[in-house]
Structure formats: structure tokens, C-alpha cells
Structure 1
Amino acid sequence: MSFPWAEQYKPKHPLMQWVDDRLPVPRLVYNAVGAGYPVPRNLNFFWNFGVLAGAALAVQIITGIVLAMSYAANAGVAFDSVERIMRDVNSGWLLRYAHANGASMFFIVVYLHIFRGLYYGSYKAPREMVWLLGLVIYLLMMATAFMGYVLPWGQMSFWGAKVITGLFSAIPLVGEPIQVWLLGGFAPDNAALNRFFSLHYLLPFVIAGVIVLHIWALHIPGSNNPTGIEVKGPQDTVPFHPYYTAKDGFGLGVFLLVFAALIFFAPNFLGHPDNYIPANPLSTPAHIVPEWYFWPFYAILRAFTVDILFVPAKLMGVLAMFSAILLLFFLPWLDRSPVRSSNYRPIYKKFFWFGLIPTVLALGYLGGAPAEEPYVMLSQFFAAYYFAHFLIIIPIISRIERPLPMPGSITDAVLKGQSGSTISTSTQTAQTAPAA
């Protein structure tokens, strides 16, 4: 977005002028994260998670590159190579734990980033493309994490690969050929391990490229804010640097403290003990589960236990699992409310905090629970509510809800100390977001 009041970059040093005239990287950086990029003055700490996700990706790429120097993508020695990294490679244990727990931290900040977008309506016009690219990043993260989980070649790695790739066999006619094509054979072995290792190494760089597009798309309309009101002038903004670089720096410090505590005091807390047992195709684990960040979708997959007409339950579960993610792509058009922020949407706000959040947490717990009663029945209930929330409840709310009075501008809300709450009814005619 072009802000006429934004400070324009003018290099003072002759060398910087020469570089900027021929390759305007200094100007690009200045306009992207410097004083040349005005942002709403009322952003809270929920806007830190984008930067934290970028930091987590950087940790994953750096540690992954170094780990790849000692890892052997061969089914006969993959498990032993990971043990060698842990025991014999200088600081190998630190790199391995940082990489494994870094994936969990990456998903934590991305999930918080997504829920912030859902709460404050960041998926609405004119930021639909920002939302869609963010979901593409999320899908790439899931693929990368799944392939990385296979690489240690422990029991859960092997059987997780077998179960997840086996889901494609539920697709009529082409399912089994797709499964064989993915694995390079009829079961996880050297071919599958090599393919997963290659893609696991490559996809983080693809994610980085999509993040560049994500940020580019964000800079066109500018950042959303807790009020959901568009910027109306220089009084509504502050330069990104030094105000939000300092705020993001504080958030990054807290993130690194939590990350360090996880690495040094509970490095295996989020892992599975069976993955410290070498892969054995002849011994099936009693309870096969993916990593914790896949549990909500795994619960939806297992919620289908009975064939519906001529559609097998397995196929229904697979379709439901993928649909749980894909329906988020349509959210900008499912929610037709002209108001973005949930702080001014009393009904939506209640369904968000007391409907969606408990449902996702419950599905997360149920995905890691055994596939038995009462967990299966509860999974069916919460899976049904999850789809109903997005496909039925949100469209109805957006039509019948009466939003609360909104401030006339971001500055009005900030000066009254109510950047995210209701203020006087004299501002009822304030501008709201255009309908998605």
C-alpha cells in the first residue's frame, strides 16, 4: 500500500546511493521493515507471531542443513546415523533437539497466528490473498513436518509413514497406484526414505519463497489491527522501526526463552518414546499416532467408523480430514459480515471462545487418545461441530448479528484507551470493512 505520508528512503552515503541506484535492496528493506513502512499504532502482541514464525523457520533451515551433513538416508543405517548425531557429532544433540522441538515451536506460533487472524478478521477484504498464501504455507509446513518425522526411522516413523501414505489407497481406482508412487514401492523402505529426505530438505526453501509472497501481499493493503478499521491518515500509524522492531524483539526474546527451556529441560516432552526403537516392519505399535500438531485432523480422520451408502468409512475420513483444512480457503466468502474484529461482534466472539477454541483443543486431545470409546464418539461430535462452525454457524451469524458501535478511527480508539472494545454510540456511523 502506498502511504503518501511515509518517509521516503534517501541514502546519504555515496556508496549506498550508488548501490541503491543500481540494485534497490536498501530501499526495499527500508520500505518493508524500516521507517518507510507505517503500521497501525494499536497493534498488540498477537501481531508478534508472524515474526516469530519467520524466526522458527530460520532455526529449522539452519539446523536442518547442518544435520543433513551427518544424516544417512538409508533404511539400514538411518536410525544409527541419528544416534551417532546425538552421541558423536559435536553439539549434535543440541542441533537434533533444536530441530525436533523447533518444528513444534513453529507450529505453535503458526497456530496462534491463524487464530489471531480468525479472531480479528484478517481474512476479510482486502486481505484475502494474505490469508490464502498463509494457508499455503501451512500446508507446506504439514508436508515438510510429516516427511521429517519419517527420517529418524524409528517405530513411529515407519508406521506413521505406512498409515498416512495408506490413506491414499482409500481413493477409488487410482489410490493404490498413488500410494506406490509416493513410496517408490509397496511399503516404506529405502526409496521412500530417500524421497522424503529430498523433499524435506527442499520444502523449507519453498516455504521461505511463499513467505516472501505472503509479506508482499500484506504490504499492499497494509496490516490489519485490533479494531479492524482501515488506516485513515498519518495520525493512525507509526513507523515499523523502531516501534515494532522493539516490540517484536521483546516477543522474540520470550520465544527464545521458552524454546531454550524446552530444549534443555524437556527435549523429549513433545516426542513419542516409540521413535527411540528402530523401525521394525514385523512389530506394529499398540497405538500409532502422528506428531501432536496433526492430532486434530487425525481425530477427524478416525471419527468415521461406518460406511455411508456405498462410500467406505476410510474414504470419508480421508475426505473429511483434508476438507477440514481446505474449507479455511473459503472462509473470506463464508463470513459476510462487514465488521472484521470480534471485539465488535458479540455473537461471533462467543462462538469463537466457547465453540471453536474448545472444539479444536478437544480434537487435539482426542487425536492422541486410543481409537476406542468414548474417544471415538467424542471425536465424531467435535468433528461435526467443527464443520458446522464454518459452514453453518458463521454464515448465519454474519447475516443476523448486530455489531457493536465502533470507533471513528484507530486514533480515537487509542486515545480513549479502548482499541479493542466498544466506545460511545456517537461513532456508530464509523467506516467498517467492505464486505468480503
Structure 2
Amino acid sequence: MSQAVLEPDAAASRGMDLLRFATAGSVDDGKSTLIGRLLYDTKTIFEDQLEAVETASASRGDEYTNLALLTDGLRAEREQGITIDVAYRYFATPRRKFIIADTPGHIQYTRNMVTGASTADLALILVDARKGLVEQSRRHAFLTSLLRVPHLVLCVNKMDLVDWDQAVFERIADEFTSFAAKLDAPDLTIIPISALNGDNIASRSENTPWYEGPSLLHHLEHVHIASDRNLVDVRFPVQYVIRPQSTTVTDYRGYAGQVASGILKPGDDVMVLPSGMTSTIASIETADGPVDEAFPPMSVTVRLNDEIDISRGDLICRPNNAPAVAQDIEAMICWMDETAPLRVGGKYTIKHTTRTARTVVRGLQYKLDVNTLHRDEAAGELKLNEIGRVKLRTTVPLLADEYRRNRTTGGFILIDESTNRTVGAGMIIEAR
């Protein structure tokens, strides 16, 4: 299957920031049409693909170019039983680059939405103006809150089918705002749209003179995400130790990885965990050469002024600002395995940043109903797509923060030791 869009040219887009956003919605809410409209309006579709869509639309008897057909290839594969967890789309405008995580909306795909939204800066939830809020709308909002997605956009789609009735829009907006108030949704924007006709997508629509907010694309281009990054707590998980094999370079030792949070500069005092040894940064290097500072999500190589025994899985931080070095973890877990549930006493491999350990489930405190937010404290297991709070004990300490403070050092996955499959995704509540 051909790629749906062109990824922006690296040279042309250098210096632009990147917004990752996840889309969610119930069946027939118009998610595929909305994604197709964004790709079309930003001119990131191959000409031959547009011609193919126009031809297919005509053969189906559609009186319009059905932009939803741009993503129907993936939908057809799902219907054939091929598992595609999350489909990613790339596009760009002169102001910003974008990656869309297109996540399925069914309750049986809760794990897929967790996967797509876990790295998102923004979540975009669609509702059908004729149906209003449904159970899945609330579920999606709760999951984005659980995953600490900083920005939330509710698109009330198909407004043209309710004659652009302001009262319908305001009723849905008020109901969703009331529900979101119970969640941790710091930034909520609600936009009336018609994805099919392009109203309020790339530009403001004349059909909504009563709406004073921005178009969807304008909001996506201008939403402020720089302050969402944690630039206070320095966290640099070491992924790889670089020791050149050249005989002419004998004293080079660099530590490569991706900055999880904070700002690193040459001359900074740092501490290496779990050893607790301290040093100062000698230099910070990238593929393009040395830099004066590193910040998330840059991938860099850090060199220190002292010879310290450091290996993959260690973490560089500030001496007076360190994560917990913990073997007892309390976390919210979304269970992803359809073959076996999570039970107390279960043993798994835990993957946390660049560190891997073994862990055992010490307790299941409650199972959470994502529709009603009810806690079932009598639950004895977590089945596929269920979410609950568990206690874990690891064989070696994790260098962990609370998920609400740092999504990178606060998140982990559980792996089945016999099959090597990912069976759970976790968000740390407490580490000690």
C-alpha cells in the first residue's frame, strides 16, 4: 500500500516545531473525513492519490470527493483481520509540522488509544452533532486525562446536518465542559465543524457567524506546547555508551540518549544514578556537531569530565534533583493482552526508559470503569482493555518520577517473559 502523504522535507522544515496529536471518535463520527480534509487542505497528498480518490468517489456515486477514502486502505486491512494498532499520518504547514495518531474508537481498542495518545501533545475528539455526547466520547476524554495529554480539542462535526444550529452546539459544549471539569483537562477548546465541506477546518466558516473562536488548523498551528515540556527536572536516560574502535581515538567516552526533561549545558554539575557518582558535563554533541545546550526531545551524546562507570539503563540528573530510586511501584495499568489477564502474583519484564528489570504484581487495588469512573475494589484481575491500580515490586531499582510530573520517566510497559509481547502499559502514581 502506498504512503498516504509525504513526510515534510527535513531541510525545508528544520527549525519548525512538531505537534503530535491523537484523534478519537466513535464510528461514523467523520474521523477519516477530517484527517483526509486536513491532508487535502494542507496540500500534502500525492496528485495521483487525489485523482484515485476522485475516481473512486465517482464510481461509488458520490456527488463529492470523498476524502475519507484516503484512509480506507487501512480500514479495509482492519476488516480483513490485519492488526494495525495506530495509523500515523504526517503533514506540515509553513508554521509547524504535525504527526497524527489515528486511533480506533471502539471500546475493544482502548489499548490502541492508550498507545496513540501516550506521546501526544494534543487529543482531538470528534462527536456527531446529531447524536451529541455518547459513551465513547466520555471514555476518550477520560483516557486523554489519564495519559496527561496537555491539550484537548472537541470537534462537533456534521454541523451542516443540523443546519448550523447554535443551540445544538452550545448544548454539546456545555455537557462536555461539565464532564471535563471532573477530569484533569487543563486546556479545552471546542470547535463546530463540517469535515465533509471543510467548514472551520482550514479557515473560518461563514456558516458560523455566532462562533468567535479559531479554525481547527489555526488552533493546531498556534497552540502553545513549549511550556508543556518539563524543563526543570534534568532526566537523561543513557541508551548507549560510545567507545570508538579507532586506534587514533583512545580517550573518547560518550553517553548517547534522548533528553527526557530539563536542560543540559556544558559545565553543569550532574549525578549518575543508581551509583550516585557526580561529575560535570564536558561537552554535548549531536549528529551535526557540538551544541551549547540540550533539551527534550533532543537526541544527543553527553561527555563527562570524569571517568565514571556508566552503562545502558543508568540516568544522568542534577545532584539535588533526582528521581526516586525505587523497587516498589504503584501505577495505573492498561492491560493489553487478550490471552491472559493480569493477576496478583504475575511475573513480567518491565521496560522503563532504557532500563529493563523483572517485576511481580504484589496487589490489585481496584479496577476502574472508564465510562462511570467507578472503582471496583473487589476485582481480582485485569482483562484486555481494562484499567486498574496495581502494586509492583521490581528486582532492581527503577529511576522513576510520577507520571504527572514526567511522562517519560513516569511511564513503562510490561512484557510477557515467555512470548516477548507487550501486555500492559503503566503510569506511575508513586515510587518508593
Pairwise TM-score range, normalised by the shorter structure: under 0.3
Higher strand share: 2
Give the TM-score normalised by structure 1: 0.27
Higher helix share: 1
The structure showing larger relative contact order (alpha-carbon pairs under 8 Å, at least 6 residues apart) is: 1
